[in-house]
Amino acid sequence: MKKMYLFKKRLSGEFKAFILIIAICTLSFSVYSQVMVSGVIRDATDNYPLPGVNILEKGTKNGVISNIDGEFELTVASTSSVLQFSFIGYETQEIIVGNRRTFDIKLSPATTLFEEVITVGYGGRGIRRNRSKAVYDMEVSAFYIPAPQQPSHTYFNPSVETYSLINENGFSDALTNPLSTFSISVDNASYANVRRFINNGQMPPPDAVRIEEMLNYFTYEYAQPKGEHPFAVTAEYADCPWQPEHKLLHIGLQGKDIPLDDLPPSNLVFLIDVSGSMAPANRLPLVKTAFKMLVNNLRETDRVSIVVYASQVGVVLPSTPGSEKEKINRAIDGLVARGSTAGGDGIQKAYEVAVKNFIPGGNNRVILATDGDFNVGISNENELKRFIETKRETGVYLTCLGFGMGNFKDSRMEILSRAGNGNYAYIDNIQEAQKVFIQEFGGTLFTIADDVKLQIDFNPAKVQAYRLIGYENRMLNAEDFKDDTKDAGEIGAGHTVTAIYEIIPAGLKSEHLPQTDASVYQRVRQTTRNHSHEVATVRIRYKNPGEDKSLELRHPVEDRNLTFNRASENFRFSAAVAMFGMHLRNSDFKGKTNLKEISEITKNARKYDPYGYRGEFLRMVETAGSIENLSQNR
């Protein structure tokens, strides 16, 4: 009996050892059989790289997203794995891995829009650099939402989102009102937000469309500054595509580029909303991934603190050197969304921490990441604005980053960033985070000029009437131009600022001319000086950071009889963006604007497109056309 027991025990031990050997062999074979694949994804029609394409190992949750150059890397289970390539507005493509290790994928535009919508959730596992390209290593969980039986523009309800009312600028008489004055804006949140609507199969609300922010989303091929001023001025005058008898005046500012090593040290406070509304994948999880990108760029001389707010406010990371990236990232990884939203209290604490760790001569900035839904503590927009206006005197700037959809408070974010001498971006996907924190790192975080104002002095001998396209909430009185106590916008390192005026030339009859009676007591005198070729003079005032007295530069603009097609690519592309904005707003001044013409202009103005954003804009215009066609055929 004892021998039988010993025999069974021995057999049991041998069986366990056998099973263990089999498991190890299986695991080894599984690991050995894994395959690393890579490649680039392009548009089949124009060969431009496609960023943001979902690459999924079919039947699994293993996947990645193509980077800004359309490149990807992915480790799959075996050579029999099927790669699935999907991107909104394009036909989904499936390819068996087989013996190939590199892929050159061409995606064709979808013949039927919104047969399926792909939603991607991000579980951030950090960033890794591959050669000089950024490739993101993250979990991707994809699920498919079947298309509705009848096309609809109500995938989510935008009525609970808030946008400030925009009263579109009209034409002003150049004889009686020759000066047009406004503050610059480098914000570009509206463009990303508009893209979010269109990618969800909806046209945006008119007040969500701020044309100046759409223009300033893009980089332009402007000349770098060479003299004493921190930016260069470009101006161009040519025909208007949507009103052929009108003209356009294009004005561009180019901020000087500063190498990363030459930038002053930063004292950054990450102010992160961790309330319950931030739980979805496109909010706090995306916030974490975005901030890790920023951390990856920090130097030893930079310092980071993290303040969070929900029902309560807390400092989860005291001021920490940028060299301690692992410590900073652990603090970010530990954030969890829950509770209500004491946003006002969080802002107060963040400024307190920023002032405590203030670096004289450095870049001192609070970076707020939220959906803007404050419901505890200081939540009134006017109260928040007044509070932040008092804090900007400390020399601490405020950058606002908007996330999420459905209850997004755009109006609040816009007000806060303006009051805090800062900028405002909307981050709807990982590529936008890369744009804000990697490609535009200097412009996002480092200010090179404060209180930048433009004043255009129009020559009534050439200009009968004018209107500024966009910038409605940035308009100033003429006397504000030289008033150094009047707040205006800031420009960051490497930033570009673009503004467009629509011009009614002198002597032209137009229904858009302002109808006013001349004064019986006052006679307007025109100059007798010879300015026969000058359309206008662009005047710019700005302050060097930390200074109270402004400096001024001037740039005359001449009429060179340019047709639209002979104008620069900068001019033509910016006109297409303005046309699209007016179309989305259903502007009273859109004239002959139509999406087909916008598309054609864009196709011929894309040679300068270092990051593929103009190509993305073209696809967005075409997607908007498909949405409108679906709506009309309902």
CB-neighbour burial class of residue 16 (10 A; exposed 0-12, middle 13-18, buried 19+): exposed
Residue 98 counted as domain residue: yes
Looking at the predicted structure, is the pLDDT value of residue 388 above 70?
yes
Query: Is 551 in contact with 544 (CB distance < 8 Å)?
Result: yes
Looking at the predicted structure, is the pLDDT value of residue 135 above 60?
no
Residue 226 counted as domain residue: yes
Nearest CA among 318, 394, 309 for reference residue 355: 394
Burial 355-369 (b: 16+ CB within 10 A, else e): eebebeebbbbbbbb
Same domain, 491 and 580: yes
Same domain, 361 and 378: yes
Same domain, 384 and 476: no
Residue 221 counted as domain residue: yes
SS3 306: strand
The domain total for the chain is 3
Looking at the predicted structure, is the pLDDT value of residue 618 above 70?
yes
Instruction: Give the Cα separation of 175 and 529 in Å (integer).
Output: 16
Residue 469 counted as domain residue: yes
Instruction: Give the Cα separation of 448 and 491 in Å (integer).
Output: 6
Nearest CA among 253, 320, 251, 335 for reference residue 289: 335
Same domain, 247 and 274: no
Residue 443 counted as domain residue: no
Q: What is the pLDDT of residues 512-571, one digit of tens each?
A: 887 777 665 666 555 545 566 899 999 999 999 989 999 999 999 999 999 999 999 999
Same domain, 360 and 396: yes
Residues whose CB is less than 8 angstroms from the CB of residue 467 and which lie 6 or more positions away in sequence, other chains included? 169, 170, 171, 172, 501, 502, 589
Same domain, 292 and 330: yes
- Full-model pTM: 0.77
pLDDT of residue 344: 73
pLDDT of residue 518: 67
Q: What is the pLDDT of residues 329-344, one digit of tens each?
A: 999 999 988 877 666 7
Residue 357 counted as domain residue: yes
- What region does 598 belong to: left with phi over 0, alpha with psi -120 to 50, or beta? alpha
Same domain, 271 and 324: yes
Share of the chain above pLDDT 70, in %: 82
Q: What is the pLDDT of residues 69-103, one digit of tens each?
A: 788 989 999 999 999 998 756 788 999 999 999 99
pLDDT of residue 12: 55
The CATH number of residue 361's host domain is 3.40.50.410
Q: Which run of H or of E encompasses 397?
A: strand 397-402
Residue 523 counted as domain residue: no
Same domain, 282 and 370: yes
Same domain, 483 and 602: yes
Q: Which structure tokens are listed for 550?
A: 């402004």
Same domain, 233 and 273: no
Same domain, 220 and 336: no
Q: Domain span at residue 346?
A: 263-428
Query: Is 369 in contact with 322 (CB distance < 8 Å)?
Result: no
- Alpha-carbon separation of residue 200 from 155, 158, 176, 575, 620 (angstroms): 7, 12, 46, 25, 11
Identify the residue with better confidence: 425 or 121: 425
